[in-house]
């Protein structure tokens, strides 16, 4: 079994910062791509940032220059540092990890963490 636990969400004023974490545990052979997605009320889930096993990153245009994704392979953890937050960043944030176990290679999702940015 594989479990993902997210943390770090909360309420912050515009211009503030938050750091999200997503830690994976269980029967993990390796973790390939890692990513953060978000879903605002009434909107589709969208990719925020992603990082490959080699460390290459890509970001949604709306967060470039403000958000930074990173990973700690020893801890099976991905982070999202969010700076200069705006009210439009308000959403539930989900991590997604492509994990290889003894049986399969598949995507696992975190439970979601709420980020609310007040104006």
- What would the pLDDT profile of 14-66 be if each residue is shown by its tens digit? 999 999 999 999 999 999 999 999 999 999 999 999 999 999 999 999 999 99
* Residue-level pLDDT at 26: 95
Token pair for 113: 């963490």
Residues 90 and 115: beta-carbon distance below 8 Å: yes
CA 46 to chain CA mean position, Å: 11
Question: CA triplet 44, 20, 11: central angle to 5 degrees?
Answer: 80
3-state secondary structure 36-53: EEEECCCCCCEEEEEECC
């Amino acid at each position: 079994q594989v479990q993902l636990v997210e943390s770090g969400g909360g309420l912050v004023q515009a211009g503030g910062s938050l750091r999200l974490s997503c830690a994976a545990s269980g029967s993990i052979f390796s973790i390939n791509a890692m990513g953060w997605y978000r879903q605002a009320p009434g909107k589709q889930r969208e990719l925020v940032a992603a990082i490959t096993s080699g460390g290459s990153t890509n970001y949604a245009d709306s967060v470039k220059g403000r958000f930074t994704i990173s990973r700690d392979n020893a801890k099976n953890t991905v982070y999202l540092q969010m700076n200069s937050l705006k009210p439009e960043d308000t959403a539930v944030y989900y991590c997604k990890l492509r994990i290889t176990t003894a049986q399969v290679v598949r995507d696992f999702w975190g439970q979601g963490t709420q980020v609310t940015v007040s104006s």
